[in-house]
Each structure stands twice: as C-alpha cells, then as structure tokens.
Amino acid sequence: MAKGTIIIDQDCCKGCGLCPTVCPQHVITMEENLLNEKGYHPAVLVDPDGQCTGCAVCAVICPDVCITVFREVPAQRRSKTAA
Amino acid sequence: MESTTSIIPPEGMQLVYERPKALVDVHTHYCPGCTHGVAHRLLAEAIDELGVREKTILVAPVGCSVFAYAYFNTDGCEAAHGRAPAMATGIKRIDPSRVVVTYQGDGDLAAIGTAEIIHAAARGECITTLFINNAIYGMTGGQMAPTTLLGQKTKSSPMGRDAKIAGLPIRMSEVLATLPGSAYIVRRSLHDVNNIRKAKKAIVTALKAQINGLGFSMVELLSSCPTNWGIPADKALEWVEENMVPYYPLGDYKVIEAVKSL
C-alpha cells in the first residue's frame, strides 16, 4: 500500500474531531494534553508504524482546511524523474 | 495575492492535497465542525480548477457566512440580508465576463430573500448560488428557519416545529427547478466524504453552466450546525444523514440538455 503522511496546522485546528472519525488507518487522534493558540485540543498524526496512506480523506472532511497531504512517489516514477 | 503556504514535501513524497489558492490563508470564525468551512473549500477548489479566480466576484450574504468575502482570494462584496441575487444580477449585467457567485444560507435565501432568489432564477440570470441549508438560523442563535424540520427543537420552537403554527419546511431546490430560467438545480450533502466529493463536482458543473451562459445555477448543500443543534460535530453529520436527507432528497432537480453536454 502507498505510504503517505499529513501535516496538520495545529493552530488552525478547532478540535472538532471529524478527521479521526473518517481516517481508515486510525492514525489521527485528538491530543488532550495539547492546547493550541485558540484554546482547542488539536488533532495530531500518531503514526509510528508509517500506516498513513496519504488517502486525503481527512483533508476532505476537515472544515478548517488545516491538513496538507503527501504521498510517496511511486518507485518507477522516481527513477524516471532522476533520469 | 498568492497563497502564502509553502510546506516543503518530506523526502520522497509528493504533494497530494493542499489549501486551495482561492482561499485566503486566515483562520475562519466558524464554530468547530461547521460545514461552512467545507463548503468554502469546495467553492475555492472549483474556482481554482476552472482557473477563474481573477474573474470571480463573490457576493456574501447575511448570516454566519457574512464574512465570506474575507476568506476568498477573489473579489467580493456584501449584500443586504437576502439581496445577494439582486446584487449579483447587477454585477453580472454590468460585466458579463465575470463569474458571479452568491453564497447564501437558509435564513437568507429561503426567508427574507425568497423574492430575490425566485426572480433571479425566473429571469434566468447567469449567476451561481451556493445554498447552505442547515435547517436553522445559525448566527442569530438558533431560531427556527423556513427549512427547520417538523418536530425540530430550536430557540423559537422549543416544543419542536409544529406544522399547524409554522407550516411545513420549504424545499427550495424543488421550487426553483420549476422555473423556466433555471439551468442547473441540484441538492448535495456535506455529511460524509463521498457526498462532499459529489458536492464538489456539482459546484464545478454549476460554475461551468454560468461560464457558458446557460442560465441560473444553484447547488443546495445540506449542512450541519453543531452549536445550535447542541450536538458534537460528528453526531451533527449523522443527524444530517438521518433526518435531513429523508426530507430533502439528494439529487438533480433540473439539468437542462445544454448543461448535460458540458
């Protein structure tokens, strides 16, 4: 499966908790021990095993557009760009 | 003004999704979990996709989305309550090369602005309307709207909406679809990822209908209001699916042949 990652703008997050409900890999949690500048508990990516696939479902549901999504460049295409 | 986001992709990764360029990089004032943010993003993505950012004029309504003009990286102006279609008509007639979009809530479009929207559609004005239907007046604190469901409790219907007193909710898409000037009238929902993707396609089609001068286009988006409904954001989306979708069926209410062939 493709590997990916996300970057969450934590100060933009309002802690609505929608992204964890849609993440198919269950790698997003609401960080109860963290407060952002607005005073919300923001969403964080907890993905020690690299399970995020970069499917971007979290970015589709996010009402505050805080999530930027990346996906691994497929091996064939990477060699092509190198050549 | 270009977007200022410049996140460098991690090693070996490519960018899959980032904030659309048509959205200004500011934090919105919407409540946590409010689908106004999703609707804003979809409209911005559609504007980016069609490459019409420099030509777009957004007419903001009165309601929660009253500051919408501040969130879009397009030209914009603010209409009096319910009068966005009238203002959009004027703008479009003065400069037909512009893409004119009104963004209106249910209190704005279905209550005080009913006359404006009906006559804009009847005249077949080449404007696009995004109609955010969350079955309640959000900004004023959660009063009953024309779209409030039967039995739904609001600040002004604490025992639930009673048909004997308040009548039945208006289905605006069905109403506007009967008018000869409308070209593209559809209803979509923002309650899950699949439906959000469908909504984006509908917004792109609506803008294309306008750009091709085919007539009035409107996309109604079933939305949530976690704050005034008094439930968490995820439960609010479930509420949309369980209660609003049965009364406001999703679908295409009017798609003229010329729009189908776009």
> Touching check for A62 and chain B: CB below 8 Å?
yes
Strand B251-255 relative to strand B99-105, pairing: unpaired
Q: pLDDT band for position A78 (50/70/90)?
A: low
A54 in Cβ contact with A3 (< 8 Å): yes
**CB-based contact, A42 to chain B, within 8 Å:** no
> CB-based contact (8 Å) between B260 and chain A?
no
- Condensed to tens digits (0 to 9), the pLDDT of residues B220-239 reads 999 999 999 999 999 999 99
Q: Is residue B24 part of a domain?
A: no
- Whether residue B249 contacts residue B172, with contact meaning beta carbons closer than 8 Å, is answered with no
- The total domain count for chain B is 1
- Model confidence at A82, in pLDDT bands (50, 70, 90)? low
Residues in chain A closer than 8 A to B30 (CB atoms): 63-64
Q: Given the structure tokens 């500051």, which residue do they identify?
A: B67
Count of C-beta atoms within a 10 Å radius of residue A16: 25
Nearest of A78, B69, B247 to residue B239 by alpha carbon: B247
For A22, name the nearest residue in chain B, comparing CA atoms only: B193
Say yes or no for a CB contact (<8 Å) between A38 and B15.
no
Question: What residues of chain B lie within 8 A of the CB of A71, using their CB?
Answer: 13-14, 16
**Alpha-carbon distance A61 to nearest alpha carbon in chain B (angstroms):** 6
Q: Which residues of chain B fall short of a pLDDT of 70?
A: 1-6
The answer to whether B200 and B89 have CB atoms below 8 angstroms apart is no
Element housing B247 (H / E): helix B245-247
Report the pLDDT value the prediction gives residue A81, as an integer from 0 to 100: 56
Mark yes or no for CB contact B38/A71 under 8 Å. no
- Whether the predicted model's global pTM rises above the 0.90 cut: yes
Amino acid, single-letter form, for residue B17:
Y
Interface predicted TM-score of the whole assembly (ipTM), two decimals: 0.89
| B226 touching chain A per CB within 8 A | yes
CA distance B179 to B230: 36
Per-residue pLDDT band for A45 (boundaries 50, 70, 90) equals: very high
**DSSP-derived secondary structure letter, B23:** B
Decide if A45 touches B, using CB distance below 8 A.
Answer: no
Q: What distance in Å separates the CA atoms of residue A51 and residue A67, rounded to the nearest whole number?
A: 17
Could you tell me the pLDDT band of residue A1, with boundaries at 50, 70 and 90? confident
Strands (E), chain B: 13-17, 56-60, 75-78, 99-105, 128-133, 182-189, 216-222, 251-255
Amino acid symbol at A74: P
Whether the pLDDT of residue A77 is over 80: the answer is no
Residues of B with CB below 8 A from A54's CB? 13, 16
pLDDT band at A74 (very low <50, low <70, confident <90, very high): confident
- Cβ-based neighbour number of residue B96 at 10 Å: 10
Contacts of A60 in chain B (CB under 8 A): 193, 196-197
B29 within some domain: no
Residues of B in contact with A19 (CB under 8 A): none
Are A60 and B13 in contact (CB < 8 Å)?
A: no
Based on the number of CB atoms within 10 Å of its own CB, is B188 exposed (0-12), middle (13-18) or buried (19 or more)? buried
Residues A39-57, mean pLDDT to the nearest whole number: 94
**Residue whose tokens read 């995020």:** A52
Is A67–B226 a contact, with Cβ atoms under 8 angstroms apart? no
Angle, CA B97 vertex, CA B95 and CA B100 arms, to 5°: 75
Does the distance separating the beta carbons of B15 and A70 come in below 8 Å? yes
Nearest CA in chain A to B39: A63
**Distance (Å, whole) CA B260 – CA B262:** 6
pLDDT for the residue B6: 62
Q: How far apart are the CA of B27 and the nearest CA of chain A, in angstroms?
A: 6
- Distance (Å) from the alpha carbon of B117 to chain A's nearest alpha carbon: 27
- pLDDT score recorded for residue B5: 53
Question: Which SS3 state, helix, strand or coil, does residue B229 take?
Answer: helix
Long-range (24+ apart) CB contacts under 8 A made by B149-157 are B149/B243, B149/B244, B149/B247, B152/B243, B154/B228, B155/B228
A56 vs B9, B16, B31: nearest CB:
B16
pLDDT of residue B2: 45
A4-71 CATH: 3.30.70.20
**What residue spans define the domains of chain A?**
4-71
Q: Quick one: average pLDDT of A61-73?
A: 94
Q: What is the 3-state secondary structure (H, E, C) of A5-52?
A: EEEECCCCCCCCCHHHHHCCCCCEEECCCCCCCCCCCCEEECCCCCCC
DSSP string across B114-176: HHHHHHHHHHT-S-EEEEEE-SSBTTTTSB--TTPPTT--BTTBTT---HHHH-PPP-HHHHH
Q: What is the pLDDT of residue A5?
A: 94
Q: How far is B21 from chain A (nearest CA, A)?
A: 12
Q: Tokens at residue B99, please?
A: 């893409």
pLDDT digits 0-9 by tens, B48-72: 999 999 999 999 999 999 999 999 9
Q: What is residue A68's three-state secondary structure? A: strand
- Does A80 touch chain B if contact means CB atoms closer than 8 Å? no
Q: What domain range is B222 assigned to?
A: 36-260
Q: Which residues of B touch A16 (CB under 8 A)?
A: 32-33, 226, 233
Domain CATH number, residue B202: 3.40.50.970
Residue of B nearest to A10 (CA): B27
